[in-house]
Structure 1
Amino acid sequence: MSTSLPALAFAGIGLMGLPMSRRLLAAGYPLSLWNRTPDKCVSLTAQGALCVASPAELCTDANIIMLCLANTEVVREVVFGPGGIVEGARPGQLLVDFSSLEPAATREMAAELLARTGMHWMDAPVSGGTPGAASGSLAIMAGGREEDIERARPILAHLGQRLTRMGDVGAGQVTKVCNQMIVACNALVLAEVVALAEQSGVDASLLADALAGGFADSKPLQILAPQMAASQFEPVKWHVRTLLKDLDTAVKLSREVGAATPLSGLAAQLMRLHGSQGHLEHDPATLVQLYRQPEV
């Protein structure tokens, strides 16, 4: 492992954090890890990572501390809770948050962390799912100081094919909200399309190929439509609860800024309905079950 590269730290070894951490290790970066469930770090420690006992300890050696966590509340706890990053942070360090959070909360937490420790915050939510995380082809939308984003750019080049500065802290989260509005509404209409094709006697497994290259083509079409048609819901690549959280964030943001988001508001309610039927931890491909006629 090269010692000429900056030391990094990563909190949140989940569906996305695991493959992202693997890529950083493969690139030769010294890497410290923290996860609420330490067992998830085992495969990474076998590759040379160091697992620490608290988020605060991530700041001991690392210059850049990265987060990939479930939601705003979890990030707040990891940063400001007992044993949190705030207890170990110092000026000159940079927090890079890949999580998808509420923009206003991101700005508030960034201001508090800077005031208390001198550590700057860069929000860098990602799009591309677990395949993108594994292949290093994520799209990364960033908010923060230009110098912080440029400092992180060589490192994030191992994780994403594109890093775009969208503005100051919070701008990355606004952009991710826009991304998720498109993805979630797309997933819901694809579920309608597959069910309609099936009920009309058309082989829905042919839809993705038939529409490839046309105006209706998209990555969600090529990924989700075949899975929906085949009822292939495992392995779970992302969660219904994640799309629901992001749609709720979109609706909240629209109220805060006075924008109209009627389609996303309806999508949030349909996603909530699907989640209430036991699908919160399931893959969004299961959305097709909302529209299929029950078997008799």
Structure 2
Amino acid sequence: MAFGTSTRAGLVGLGIMGAPIARRLRQKGVPLTVWNLEPERFAEVEASGAVWADSPAEVWRASEVVFTCVLGDDAIESVCLGDLGFARAEGASLLVDLSTTSPEATEKVGAGLAEATGAAWIDAPMSGGPQAGEEGNLTLMIGGEEEACQRVMPLLELLSPNITRMGDLGAGQKTKIVNQAIVGANYVLMAEILAVMRAAGMDPSLLPGALKGGMADSTILQRIYTQMAAEDFDPPRSYARQLSKDLKSVAKFVEGLGLDLPVMQTGVHQYRDWAEAGNGMEDGASVARLYEKG
């Protein structure tokens, strides 16, 4: 039977993306139990009517389906298989992982959770930002068994008008790696184009309008380049450390395929160098500062 808005749901992870997703689910009337490693983040969703749980295991016990939105492989393994993780409780029958993790971690932890609880796993990494999460306009690329994907589709459609099942478990994360490769390389390209505009004595703010609708137009040009040109980095819309982490997965994935992709790899390394030079908690678009003179 398909899950709907009366389904008892859980969400673990109330960060930049998790909190708006929690509010979106509550806005649509979904009963929601939540947990976050830093309890103070609950204040961001408390008014929505979400209920706090003391551990991931308690979220699992209270729910029929659980969403996760955490930072990387170690975090997803901890909340699923750790001492206070989902595997320690009976409850939900399906996990939807909205995090960006490696395909290897997805397959490993998914198998461990299935063995411990019998639950199905859908990897559903997202593209979009906090506003898209709040408004239900995310893009989801999902992997998992067809039946499980169809069962949770009514809830996923509350979060996204663009959902594509890419294949079995892990296929969503592989697609997200491709997405992040495009994003990371283009963040660096936008920073370099901004440097060109400034060095040429041109008004950087005019470029998105000039190129709108043409072959060079893109969401990244319209949103991220515009943000860079305005130096609008506070408060952060996303953290550079997050994209840097994702780009490490890109590099590992490409290496595993035995491919030599110099354009992609140069952009990936340039961004990672910026983030790892003490800029991890800066806005993701702040890589533009790498090209500032003086």
Q: Specify the code of the residue in structure 1 equivalent to 2:97.
A: D
| CA distance in structure 2 between the aligned counterparts of 1:4 and 1:270, rounded to whole angstroms | 44
CA contact (8 A) 2:191 2:291 kept: yes
User: Residue 282 of structure 1: CA displacement?
Assistant: 1.0
How does 1:127-206 map onto structure 2 within 5 Å? 127-206=127-206
User: Residue 45 of structure 1: CA displacement?
Assistant: 2.6
Q: Which residue of structure 2 aligns with residue 26 of structure 1?
A: 27
Q: Which residue of structure 2 aligns with residue 280 of structure 1?
A: 280
Q: Specify the code of the residue in structure 2 equivalent to 1:213.
A: G
How does 1:106-117 map onto structure 2 within 5 Å? 106-117=106-117
Q: How big is each residue's C-alpha offset from its partner over 1:98-118, in whole Å with a ceiling of 9 and x where there is no partner?
A: 000001111111111111221
User: Residue 145 of structure 1: CA displacement?
Assistant: 0.4
CA contact (8 A) 1:247 1:267 kept: no
* TM-score normalised over the length of structure 2: 0.95
Q: Which residue of structure 2 aligns with residue 9 of structure 1?
A: 10
CA contact (8 A) 1:247 1:265 kept: no
CA contact (8 A) 2:181 2:268 kept: no
> 52-61 vs 257-266, which deviates more?
257-266
Q: Specify the code of the residue in structure 2 equivalent to 1:81.
A: G
Q: Specify the code of the residue in structure 1 equivalent to 2:204.
A: A
Q: Specify whether residues 196 and 9 from structure 1 end up closer, same or farther in structure 2 by C-alpha distance, changes over 3 A only.
A: same
* TM-score normalised over the length of structure 1: 0.94
User: Residue 228 of structure 1: CA displacement?
Assistant: 1.3
For 1:141, what is the secondary structure of its paired residue?
A: strand
Q: Which residue of structure 2 aligns with residue 120 of structure 1?
A: 120
| CA distance in structure 2 between the aligned counterparts of 1:44 and 1:243, rounded to whole angstroms | 25
| CA distance in structure 2 between the aligned counterparts of 1:161 and 1:264, rounded to whole angstroms | 29
Q: Which residue of structure 2 aligns with residue 94 of structure 1?
A: 94
User: Residue 55 of structure 1: CA displacement?
Assistant: 0.3
| CA distance in structure 1 between the aligned counterparts of 2:163 and 2:80, rounded to whole angstroms | 24
Q: Specify whether residues 224 and 43 from structure 1 end up closer, same or farther in structure 2 by C-alpha distance, changes over 3 A only.
A: closer
CA contact (8 A) 2:124 2:142 kept: yes
Sequence identity (%): 37
User: Residue 39 of structure 1: CA displacement?
Assistant: 1.5
For 2:233, what is the secondary structure of its paired residue?
A: coil
CA contact (8 A) 2:241 2:276 kept: no
> 124-133 vs 225-234, which deviates more?
225-234
User: Residue 97 of structure 1: CA displacement?
Assistant: 0.2
Q: Specify the code of the residue in structure 2 equivalent to 1:276.
A: E
Q: Specify the code of the residue in structure 2 equivalent to 1:82.
A: D
| CA distance in structure 2 between the aligned counterparts of 1:256 and 1:83, rounded to whole angstroms | 33
Q: Which residue of structure 2 aligns with residue 246 of structure 1?
A: 246
Q: Specify the code of the residue in structure 1 equivalent to 2:112.
A: E
Q: Which residue of structure 2 aligns with residue 70 of structure 1?
A: 71
Aligned residue pairs, count: 291
Q: How big is each residue's C-alpha offset from its partner over 1:31-67, in whole Å with a ceiling of 9 and x where there is no partner?
A: 0000011121124233221100000001222110110
CA contact (8 A) 2:81 2:112 kept: no
User: Residue 262 of structure 1: CA displacement?
Assistant: 2.8
| CA distance in structure 2 between the aligned counterparts of 1:267 and 1:54, rounded to whole angstroms | 39
> 248-257 vs 52-61, which deviates more?
248-257
| CA distance in structure 1 between the aligned counterparts of 2:284 and 2:39, rounded to whole angstroms | 27
Q: Which residue of structure 2 aligns with residue 38 of structure 1?
A: 39
User: Residue 276 of structure 1: CA displacement?
Assistant: 3.1
| CA distance in structure 2 between the aligned counterparts of 1:96 and 1:210, rounded to whole angstroms | 41
RMSD: 1.5
Q: Which residue of structure 2 aligns with residue 56 of structure 1?
A: 57
> 284-293 vs 214-223, which deviates more?
284-293
| CA distance in structure 2 between the aligned counterparts of 1:120 and 1:260, rounded to whole angstroms | 36
| CA distance in structure 1 between the aligned counterparts of 2:262 and 2:174, rounded to whole angstroms | 17
User: Residue 89 of structure 1: CA displacement?
Assistant: 4.0
User: Residue 124 of structure 1: CA displacement?
Assistant: 0.2
CA contact (8 A) 2:5 2:28 kept: no
| CA distance in structure 2 between the aligned counterparts of 1:174 and 1:261, rounded to whole angstroms | 17
